[in-house]
Structure 1
Amino acid sequence: MELLRRLSIRHKLLLSMGLCLLLFIIISSTLSIMKTSQAARERVLGHELPAQVAAIRNDVLRQIATPLAVSQTLANNTFLHAWEEAGVPEEGVAAWSAQAKNLKSKNNAATVFWVSRSTGKYFTDKGYDRTLNEKAASDQWFYGFLSGSSPYQLDIDKDVSADSYMLFINTRVQTAGGKQAVAGLGLSVNALAEAVRNYKLGQSGYVFLVRANGMVLIHRDPAMVDGKHQLADMKGMTPALAKRLLGGEAFIADSFKGADGEQLVASSFIPELNAYLVAQVPEAEVLAGIARGAAMTSLIAAVIGGGIGMLAIFVIARAIAAPVAHAAELLEDIASGGGDLTRRMPVETQDEIGALAAAFNKFVESLNVTILRVRESSRAIGEATGDIASGNMDLSARTEAQASNLEQTAAAMEELTSTVHNNTANAEQANKLVAGTAESAKRGGVVVGQVVEKMASITASSNKISDIIGVIDGIAFQTNILALNAAVEAARAGEQGRGFAVVASEVRNLAQRSAAAAKEIKELITESVQQVADGGKLADSAGMAMQDIVKSVQNVAGLMQEIASASQEQSLGIDQVNQAVTQMDDTTQQNAALVEEAAAAAQSLSEQAARLEQVVGLFKLKEKA
């Protein structure tokens, strides 16, 4: 930023317009390269890659065309049809072997075979090999092929007898008598695999075969041909892309992020092999030459266009900056004239420079008028500041006297506040004592009520005891009667009842004593009941007295609460008055300080006005007409 501030307008224009031109060239070149690369990619995927894959596919089919014709000729052999009609007897095996060996030798085949549907026997050029089992999984290729309608089938599978992968060309056999069989050749897959591995796409692109179920069949990497690797297992290949490539289409192309960067991939289904020919080539390799060409073209265009653009920018920047530089020189000339505001810029053109000169002349004229007014005002300010300073001194003295009076008022208010606070505290303490007394009176009333209740309970219990004593007295009376009857009966018994008479007499005495005791207890209980009743009346009187006391104490508590509240409000009011007086005192002190500051400021303003008049006197002004 510091460098930009130091640059001239012409250099800033050259720098900014040059950067804009460079940015435009970079963006246009990048877009050109991107568009060219995209068009080239679409051309490769839409034309070049399909053509190369189709050529390789046709070459693969060409390699199996001759063995397919031989297999079809073998399937149409009339001798073998007759042999099949006869049930493939043993006497025909030698003739079959001779013919099969001849075909094997001429066509460089790995094996020649004939499989009978009626007997299940599998014959090779060596003769009888084995009997197929319809339930065996390894033999389902035979029964599945015959159950279909295809006249021939090409399949790459492992030969049971040779324990190696072969390309089997299976041809349907249908005899006149309705017998079925399969004839064909087995070719070594090595030749086909070598041919597939030798196909090249560019420098490092290659092709490989994949079964319809996605299993890699032929690949340049031997580790991939182990019967365990799927197309989706390749690095960067997603299951969705693998499924799309194995969709049974004649040609399909896409791309994916592989281990070596972005890869173009295409597949073509070969129905004759029930397999897919898959081609893979690095996208950078295909588009590298095109991208380099586009980059070179863009670079040449950028150099030529940039040179022309910079030349135009230089001319335009010079045309813009030259008048501005001339105007700056004129302003410097006027500014160095010692404050002479009578000088003006000549207006020679009607463009922006002429407008700048006219505006500068207006500015100088306005500045001339302003400085004239400032000079007049500075003189007036110098005269007024002396009066202001004198008035501030008088105001300062009066403010100091008022501050002293407020300090005395504040001290008196503090004493009054202290007295009111003490009264408030005493009222609150008395209120608390009265509240405690009221609470104690309430508790006394409750206790008296409980005493009354207990007296009533004692009266009830005494009445019950009196009733019980009455029952005891009745029992004693009955016992006395019984004892008397017993004594009479004992007297009648004579000598034999004497002992019983003595006992009856004792019982009668006990009954009489019990009756006497019960009577005494009843009298005592009656007396107690009367005393309890008298105590209950006294307790009721005490309860009513306690209620009157509680009401009186509550009235006193209410009055004390009102006194405390009033004292509190009075205390708050006094506090507010005290705060107001304190604030007035502080404000007066501040006013006094401000008055002193204003006096000092007026003195300083007077000095500044004098200096301003001196500064204004340095300008050479055009006086008013």
Structure 2
Amino acid sequence: MSIQRKFLFSVAGVIGFFTLVVLGYSIYTNSRTVEAQIEKEQKAATSQIIDILRVTDTIMRDRVQSSMKLLMQRGAELGLPAQGDMIRVKATSAYQLLLGNQPQANNFALVDELTDVMGGTATLFSKTGSDFIRISTNVKNQGERAIGTRLATDGQAIKKIQQKQPFYGQVDILGNPYLTGYEPMLDGSGNVIGIWYVGYSADMKFLKEAIADSRILQSGFVALRDSNGSVRIHSDHVTTEQAESILRSSTDEWTITEVPFEFWNYDIVLAVSHDETEGLLAKALGILFIKILIAGGAILVTIYFLVKRIVGKPLNHFTDVVENIASGEGDLTFRFDSTRNDEFGRMANGFNLLLAKLQTTIQVVSSATDSLLQRSSELQATAVKSNNSIMSLTSQTDRIANAIDELQENASRVASNTSLANEAAQTADKDTTNSVSVLNMSISDIERQAEDVDASVAVINPNPV
């Protein structure tokens, strides 16, 4: 692998590493950004809804208090409250409620006159046992006055009344939200015998418009939930059934945030979809990844061309020249451009010095080679002569070898003849020995004979001459 590729792969690895770091940091920052966006939208929606609720509550509370003041004032003009006999209000039995001498059960003059002036609704309750029965009212249910109905025994209002305290706030009346006022009605002995009530149906027009247009991101919604857990108003891109189903179920698909509005005992509920949050995060990361990929690619391409131009081109030139010289066909008189003021200039200067030394060395080697070739020629001539001499000696050696062979053959015959001669000599020796023995014996005989002759002579001639 070339240095350029190694360098580019290294740069790509560094870019990849920093890409992962940036992606990790971006996951954190984008998640924080999405959370901040969600929190911002939730705060904006909550703030708007609470402002409307507070304005509505303030305006309606003032009207309720004014209306209650007028109702109690007109009631006082009729006389002191008192309980009468048991009567029937529709199908319900209740005590008659007297203001002065005027019975109020099934008498709607007082409540209607009040609402003609102040608007809203008004009711007189009569205490019957532990219940408070509507005996006079202009609150209507299905087009009829809701007399004979009981005040909810589990509501906040009745608890305050039983303590002889007033209650002002939001309550549900026959399933509808009202901003109301409840004042205990006391007889001459200070006993609670009934309730003064005025109320205004909460004007939810602006609140409905605000909540209907509210969204958290795209699929998240805002809802207003009453004290009974029922969704009163919600964003218009979800149905009531969907909103209630999501709020009732404990699922990991939604994040539910509740902001209480204590004056009405309502909750502002904000729901955020996890899928949408993760989708926004994934989209942001995808866009970021594409940007990093494009930027990284542009950087790599730029680095590639810069490396190729600044490093690759002169490096390839050096490589080609060195390979050409290494192949044995290069021009040792070639010199690199050493005028550059960089590493390649220093390397060119070094290569030039190397080439000069190499050229000198090759020249010396070439001269020595010529001398060696001359001596080699002389040695070759000497070798030829030696070879001829050797051939001559070989021929003579062959003749000597043949003579030796002949000598060996003659020696063999001589050895054979010698053996025969030896045997003959041994025989002759034996014969000679025998002959000598016979000769010695003959000599001995002759000597004896001579002695005998001498003796005979002496005998014959006793005087010597």
CA distance in 1, matches of 2:348, 2:162: 100
Q: Which amino acid counterpart does residue 183 of structure 1 have in structure 2?
A: Y
Spell out the pairing of 1:135-534 with structure 2 (5 A cutoff).
138-141=152-155, 142-147=157-162, 151-156=167-172, 159=174, 165-174=175-184, 178-180=190-192, 181-185=195-199, 187=201, 194-195=208-209, 198-201=212-215, 204-212=219-227, 214=229, 216-219=231-234, 221-223=239-241, 232-234=247-249, 237-238=250-251, 257-258=253-254, 265-282=256-273, 307=298, 310-337=301-328, 351=346
8 Å CA contact 2:4, 2:308 repeated in 1: yes
Q: Which residue of 2 aligns with 1:492?
A: none
CA distance in 2, matches of 1:22, 1:304: 12
CA distance in 2, matches of 1:197, 1:356: 82
Deviations 1:320-347 (A, max 9, x none): 3345423432442343229x9xx99989
Counterpart selection for 2:135 from 123, 128, 141: 123
8 Å CA contact 2:225, 2:268 repeated in 1: yes
8 Å CA contact 1:167, 1:188 repeated in 2: yes
CA distance in 2, matches of 1:358, 1:147: 114
| Pair 316,231 (structure 1): closer, same or farther in 2 beyond 3 Å | closer
Q: Which residue of 1 aligns with 2:104?
A: 93
Q: Which residue of 1 aligns with 2:47?
A: 54
8 Å CA contact 2:179, 2:202 repeated in 1: no
Give the CA deviation at 1:291. 9.4
8 Å CA contact 2:224, 2:232 repeated in 1: yes
CA distance in 1, matches of 2:226, 2:315: 80
CA distance in 1, matches of 2:11, 2:282: 29
| Pair 191,115 (structure 1): closer, same or farther in 2 beyond 3 Å | farther
CA distance in 2, matches of 1:293, 1:218: 33
Q: Which residue of 2 aligns with 1:241?
A: none
CA distance in 1, matches of 2:106, 2:53: 33
CA distance in 1, matches of 2:312, 2:197: 95
8 Å CA contact 1:167, 1:189 repeated in 2: no
CA distance in 1, matches of 2:264, 2:28: 40
Q: Which residue of 2 aligns with 1:38?
A: 32
CA distance in 2, matches of 1:231, 1:213: 16
Deviations 1:125-157 (A, max 9, x none): 258923759xxxx53325323246663131235
CA distance in 2, matches of 1:147, 1:129: 21
| Pair 344,212 (structure 1): closer, same or farther in 2 beyond 3 Å | farther
CA distance in 1, matches of 2:298, 2:79: 90
| Pair 189,53 (structure 1): closer, same or farther in 2 beyond 3 Å | same
Give the CA deviation at 1:276. 0.2
CA distance in 2, matches of 1:60, 1:20: 57
- 1:70 and 2:52 are equivalent in the alignment: no
Return 188-197 or 115-124, whichever deviates more.
188-197
Which structure: greater helix fraction? 1
Q: Which residue of 1 aligns with 2:74?
A: 79
| Pair 185,336 (structure 1): closer, same or farther in 2 beyond 3 Å | same
Which structure: greater strand fraction? 2
| Pair 195,308 (structure 1): closer, same or farther in 2 beyond 3 Å | closer
CA distance in 1, matches of 2:229, 2:351: 82
User: What secondary structure, in the 3-state scheme, does the structure 2 residue paired with 1:41 have?
Assistant: helix
CA distance in 1, matches of 2:270, 2:227: 15
Return the TM-score normalized by structure 1. 0.39
CA distance in 2, matches of 1:80, 1:106: 15
| Pair 300,231 (structure 1): closer, same or farther in 2 beyond 3 Å | closer
User: What secondary structure, in the 3-state scheme, does the structure 1 residue paired with 2:159 have?
Assistant: helix
| Pair 232,222 (structure 1): closer, same or farther in 2 beyond 3 Å | closer
8 Å CA contact 1:169, 1:186 repeated in 2: yes
User: What secondary structure, in the 3-state scheme, does the structure 2 residue paired with 1:200 have?
Assistant: coil
8 Å CA contact 1:114, 1:123 repeated in 2: yes
User: What secondary structure, in the 3-state scheme, does the structure 1 residue paired with 2:148 have?
Assistant: strand
CA distance in 2, matches of 1:232, 1:288: 22
CA distance in 1, matches of 2:315, 2:146: 109
CA distance in 2, matches of 1:95, 1:213: 31
CA distance in 2, matches of 1:285, 1:79: 59
| Pair 94,145 (structure 1): closer, same or farther in 2 beyond 3 Å | closer
CA distance in 2, matches of 1:205, 1:188: 26
User: What secondary structure, in the 3-state scheme, does the structure 2 residue paired with 1:273 have?
Assistant: coil
CA distance in 1, matches of 2:264, 2:184: 22
The total of aligned residue pairs comes to 316
| Pair 167,98 (structure 1): closer, same or farther in 2 beyond 3 Å | same
User: What secondary structure, in the 3-state scheme, does the structure 1 residue paired with 2:108 have?
Assistant: helix
Give the CA deviation at 1:167. 1.3
Instruction: Give % identity.
Output: 16
User: What secondary structure, in the 3-state scheme, does the structure 1 residue paired with 2:46 have?
Assistant: helix
Give the CA deviation at 1:54. 1.5
CA distance in 2, matches of 1:304, 1:53: 41
CA distance in 2, matches of 1:103, 1:217: 29
8 Å CA contact 2:67, 2:198 repeated in 1: yes
Q: Which amino acid counterpart does residue 53 of structure 1 have in structure 2?
A: T
CA distance in 2, matches of 1:305, 1:129: 79
Give the CA deviation at 1:269. 0.8
8 Å CA contact 2:170, 2:179 repeated in 1: yes
